[in-house]
Amino acid sequence: MPLTAYIKPTNYCTVDCDHCYLSVEVRANKLSMSDDTLRQSARLLMDLAKKEGQDSLHIIWHGGEPMMLSPEWYEHAISILDEEIGPNKYTQGIQTSMIPYKETWDHLIKTRFDSFLGSSIDFTQRKIAKSTDSYKNVWLKRVNKARKQGFTIVPSMVPSRFEVGHGKAIVEWFEENDFPAFNIERYSDIGSDKLDATKNIHHSKFLVEVFDAVLDRLKQGLRVSQINVVTAGIRGVLLGQPGDRWGGKCQREFIVIEPDGSTNTCPDRTSFESSFANVSEGAVGFISSPQRKQWIRIQNSYHKEDHCNQCEFSKWCKSGCPIANNKLNESETECSGYKKYLLHIKEALSNPVYKDLLVNYIKPLGEPINAKEKLI
C-alpha cells in the first residue's frame, strides 16, 4: 500500500445517506480548504512518507461531497500540490456520489484523474426526495453520461441490515449494469445508534451471499465483477495474503485531512474524535500524536482477542478492521475478521473444481482498483 491521504476539501453534502459517518451539522458546513492549509498538507505528506518509509503517495479527494466545489477549484488545488510535491510524484483520484457530475468536470477527470471515478451507490440508504429509487435512477444517468466520455466508474456500496438476504440480487444488479468491478465496505455506526447498522454477523452473512453469487456465476461460465472482499478473502484463505480489511496497517498508512487542517487516520472516526494534530504542526506533530500512537497500538495488539490467537487465519487476518467490535458475546457472535465467511471460502476451495474457478477469478492479481503506485 502507498501512503494514502484522504483530503477532504469540504464536508458539505446535500445527499441524505442514512449510514453517513458525518453528522447532519458537519454535512451542512460549507467551509472549504484554504490554499495555506493545502500547502501545509502537501508538505506534511511528503515528510510523513519519508519518515514512515513509504515510497509512494496516493491522494483521494474525499468529503462530504467533493464535487460541491468547482472543477476550477481542483485545477488550482492540484497546481499547488504539483508545486509542493512534484507533478509526477503522486497519484490521485476522487470519491464522489456522482450526483453533481456534469460535463464541466470532463477535462479535469481526463487530465488529472486518468478518466477514473470512484463513486458510491447503495440500495436502501441513499435518497433523493426521500426516495432510494430516485437516487439510483439519477446515479445511473450520471454514470452512463460519464461512460460516454470513456470514463471508468468503480462503485462502492455499504450493506445495511436491509441488504442482508439480497446479496445475489445485488451482484446481479451490478452485472446487469455492466460494472466490471465494485467494492463492498462496512457500515460504520460510530457516532450514533442506527437501527439498520450491521453487526459483524450480518456483514459476514452478506459476504457469504455475495461469494455464493460469484461462485454460481463462475460455474455457469458467466462474467463476474471483481469484488474487493471476495478477491481479498480468497487470496487470504488460499495464499495467506493480507488484503482489504484483513491484515492491513491503515493506522500507519492512512491520513485524513479535514477542511480546517485537522487530522485523523480513519475517515469513519474523524468527525467524532478530537484532531490528532493540525497540518500546521507538520509530520512530526501527526506522528507524535498520542491518539495516533494509541490507535496503532489498538490495531497491532489491543484489538486481538483470545479467539484470534486460536484462529487458523490469525497470521494474515490480524483481527480485521480496528474500529469494528471484536468481542464475542450474546449480542455479537461473529468476529471482526468475519471468520464464518472465511470458513465458507475455505470449504468452497476444498472442492477441486471450485478451487480452479476461484483461482482463475483472482488472476491476474494486478494493481489495486483505487490506486496506481508511483515513486514519491
What is the structure's pLDDT at 197? 86
Q: Is residue 376 part of a domain?
A: no
* Cβ partners under 8 Å of residue 200, min gap 6: 324, 325, 332, 334, 335, 336, 338
Cα-based torsion angle of the residue sequence 33, 35, 40, 43 in order, rounded to the nearest 10 degrees:
120
Task: Let me know if residue 366 belongs to a domain.
Answer: no
Region of poorest pLDDT, from 51-60, 85-94, 258-267, 365-374: 365-374
- Per-residue model confidence (pLDDT) at position 374: 33
The reply to whether 180 falls in a domain is yes
> What's the rounded mean pLDDT across residues 293-318?
96
For residue 104, what pLDDT band results from cuts at 50, 70 and 90? very high
Sign of CA dihedral 365, 371, 374, 376: negative
CB-count burial class (<10 Å; 0-12, 13-18, 19+) for 343 = middle
Which range marks the domain in which residue 258 is found? 3-361
Q: Could you give the C-alpha distances from 111 to 92, 103, 116, in angstroms and in order?
A: 11, 14, 10
Q: What value does the mean pLDDT take over residues 203-218?
A: 98
Residue pair 153/193 in contact (Cβ under 8 Å)? The answer is: no
Residue 198: inside a domain, yes or no? Answer: yes
The string over 60-90, giving b where at least 16 C-beta atoms fall within 10 Å of a residue's C-beta and e elsewhere, is: bbbbbbbbbbebebbeebbeebeebbeeebb
Number of domains, the chain: 1
In a domain, 185, yes or no: yes
Answer yes or no: is 25 within a domain.
yes
Neighbours of 292 (CB within 10 A): 20
Residue 343 included in any domain: yes
Confidence label for 241 from pLDDT (cuts 50, 70 and 90) = very high
The C-alpha atoms of residue 107 and residue 332 are separated, in whole angstroms, by 48
Amino acid 38: pLDDT: 98
Q: By the 8 A CB rule, do 221 and 360 touch?
A: no
pLDDT above 60 for 15: yes
Residue 289: name the closest of 312, 320, 255, 247 by CA.
255
Q: What is the mean pLDDT of residues 351-362?
A: 96
What is the per-residue pLDDT for 364? 61
- The CA distance from 120 to 146, in Å, is 14
CATH of the domain at 233: 3.20.20.70
pLDDT at position 126 is 80
Q: In this structure, is residue 372 part of a structural domain?
A: no
Edge-to-edge order in the sheet of strand 226-227? 226-227, 181-184, 152-157, 116-120, 91-96, 57-61, 3-7, 254-257, 263-264
pLDDT, one tens digit per residue, over 308-329 is: 999 999 999 999 999 999 999 9
Task: Report cis status (omega within 30 of 0) of the bond before 364.
Answer: yes
pLDDT at 192: 53
CB-based contact 268:23 (threshold 8 Å)? no
- The verdict on whether omega for the bond into residue 165 sits within 30 degrees of 0, i.e. cis, is no
Q: Write out the E strands in the chain.
A: 3-7, 16-17, 57-61, 91-96, 116-120, 126-127, 152-157, 181-184, 226-227, 254-257, 263-264
